[in-house]
């Protein structure tokens, strides 16, 4: 009699997670491909960041600074912060995971909005906690709905501001109202990955709210406006007690030497950042106007991308448009996993890419 085969079994909840699927990168059979699916900047990284990166290449035998002092000091210098309140990570994704590992236990609840970043649910579930999705109103986070979802088991709330893939944001007064309705043991995480692009007088990234409270964290990234997605650099600003807790479980060398050097140089190159903002402002408006002129609905965006909705009644679906565009080398992002079965998200690209998409969609909408 043979015994049953015994194999390692993941803990409860892990196999229920739908793995994160990045935007596609290729268009088979097409010579020139414009990747507009991952919200990468068309301007690329700062020349200063590239130089800093190349300088590191001669010292790859040594471990990086485990505390990322040079990067934290550069961030603190630019934003006027205390470096002790800054923690850097292997992309902001790692930091979101560390927050869940630190503040969530089995049976606890973590809240996010229905069209929020997919990683929130993944990390909450991976920590053994209960993910709670809250409905949005007109593709925008609803403070009253979030507060109504809070229970005595709520320990963390993720708010992407601006949100991806919608591009919408909450004014600072609404964010403050949300925080005012939370108990002190609930961590409010403000994911401000796209904050550098926002040009609205009623918007704040979260720095002020963190400075004034013990239970607010703001996360940021170098993957978007700084053009360093390939190096995976994220950072957060948080109360000292939270930074201390996260430091106890993070990897000892979680940010590599190349990322530290390039990130410090990139954030100090303010001229490059302003060029990226200016390019985005021009093309965000032109793309929105162009899509709407074709009869397509666009969710108003303050990020470096637009969410384009297709009309069910015309029979021309987002899936058909995606195939049509891909065949011409324009790779956009399907957002079905975010709750938008008939929409595509497009990153603001180069002039050539943007004009190409508009021309291709004009052909698509007009064809019989």
Where exactly are the structural domains of the chain?
23-44+271-366, 47-268
Distance CA 56, CA 261 (A): 7
pLDDT < 70 regions, the chain: 1-2, 368
- Residue 2's pLDDT is 65
Q: Provide the whole-model pTM.
A: 0.94
Domain 47-268 belongs to what topology? 3.40.640
Distance CA 256, CA 260 (A): 6
Tens digits of residue pLDDT in 341-357: 999 999 999 999 999 99
- Residue 1's pLDDT is 58
- Residue 269's pLDDT is 98
Domain 23-44+271-366 belongs to what topology? 3.90.1150
Closest CA to 43 of 199, 228, 221, 195: 228
| CB-based burial, 297-316: b 16+ in 10 Å, e otherwise | ebbebbbbbbbbbbeeeeeb
Burial grade of 173 (CB within 10 A; 0-12, 13-18, 19 or more): exposed
Site of tokens 């190096």: 231
CB 279 within 8 A of CB 43: yes
């Amino acid at each position: 009699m043979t015994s049953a085969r015994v194999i390692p079994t993941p803990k409860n909840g892990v196999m229920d997670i739908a793995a994160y699927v990045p935007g596609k990168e290729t268009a088979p059979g097409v010579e020139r491909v414009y990747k507009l699916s991952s919200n990468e900047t068309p301007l690329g990284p700062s020349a200063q960041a590239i130089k800093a990166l190349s300088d590191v290449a001669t010292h790859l035998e040594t471990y990086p600074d485990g505390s990322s002092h040079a990067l934290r000091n550069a961030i603190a210098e630019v934003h006027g912060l205390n470096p002790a309140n800054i923690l850097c990570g292997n992309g902001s994704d790692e930091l979101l995971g560390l927050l869940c590992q630190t503040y969530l236990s089995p049976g606890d609840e973590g809240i996010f909005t229905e069209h929020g970043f997919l990683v929130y649910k993944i990390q909450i579930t991976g920590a053994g906690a209960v993910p709670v999705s809250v409905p949005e109103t007109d593709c925008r986070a609803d403070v009253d709905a979030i507060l109504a979802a809070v229970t005595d088991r709520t320990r963390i709330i993720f708010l992407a501001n601006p949100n991806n893939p919608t591009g919408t944001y909450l004014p600072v007064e609404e964010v403050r109202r949300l925080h005012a309705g939370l108990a002190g043991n609930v961590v409010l995480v403000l994911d401000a990955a796209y904050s550098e692009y926002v040009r609205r007088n009623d918007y704040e990234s979260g720095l002020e709210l963190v400075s004034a409270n013990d239970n607010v964290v703001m996360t940021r990234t170098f993957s978007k406006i700084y053009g360093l997605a390939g190096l995976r650099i994220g950072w957060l600003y948080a109360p000292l007690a939270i930074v201390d807790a996260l430091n106890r479980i993070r990897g000892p060398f979680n940010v590599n030497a190349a990322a530290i050097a390039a990130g410090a140089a990139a954030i100090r190159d303010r001229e490059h950042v302003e060029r990226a903002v200016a390019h985005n402002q021009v093309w965000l408006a032109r793309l929105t106007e162009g899509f709407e002129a074709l009869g397509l609905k666009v969710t108003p965006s303050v990020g470096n991308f637009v969410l384009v909705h297709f009309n069910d009644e015309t029979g021309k679906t987002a899936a058909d448009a995606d195939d049509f565009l891909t065949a011409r080398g324009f790779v956009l992002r399907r957002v079905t996993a975010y709750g938008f079965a008939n929409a595509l998200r497009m990153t603001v690209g180069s002039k050539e890419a943007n004009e190409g998409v508009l021309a291709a969609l004009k052909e698509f909408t007009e064809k019989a």
